[in-house]
Structure 1
Amino acid sequence: MNIDWTLLLAAVGLALVFEGIPYFLFAEKMPRMLLTMASQPPKFLRFIGLAAIILGLLVISLGQSLSSM
């Protein structure tokens, strides 16, 4: 299996950009949001995580299908 390191680094970089946007745009509200998230039950957090994974896979699939056209 060959790994495209350029693509992998680009994906990690893009993930960091998306992770940083809420902290940059909503710096005053993020501590409260993090406290709210920390008080949620683990089942809810797992559901949110699973939903994010599924959404991410759908976006990747869409990108793959668009690039093959």
Structure 2
Amino acid sequence: MFETLFAAFALVLIIEGLLPFAFPHFWKKMMSEASAMPEGNLRVMGLFSIAIGLILLLIFS
């Protein structure tokens, strides 16, 4: 159980690190634009990401 959780966390870190490693200029621009967005929009985007992740998890597990 914990091995799977740690593996999933490791994959999240790997995927999150790919964009700043491969395209640092694009990543900095994207982060500056995201910091200028209203918090409500960021919350909706986060909720949408959670929903998609849960749906994919239910489909593929």
* TM-score in terms of structure 2 length: 0.91
More helix by share: 2
Unaligned runs of 5+ in 2: none
Does residue 60 of the first structure (1) align with residue 54 of the second (2)? Answer: no
Unaligned runs of 5+ in 1: 65-69
Using the alignment, how far apart are the partners of 2:22 and 2:55 within structure 1? 26
Give how far 1:19 is off: 0.8
- State the number of aligned residues: 61
* TM-score in terms of structure 1 length: 0.82
State the Cα RMSD in Å.
Answer: 0.9
| Partner of residue 14, structure 1 | 11
3-state SS of paired residue (1:28): helix
Matches within 5 A, 1:20-31: 20-31=17-28
Deviant stretches of 4+, over 4 Å: none
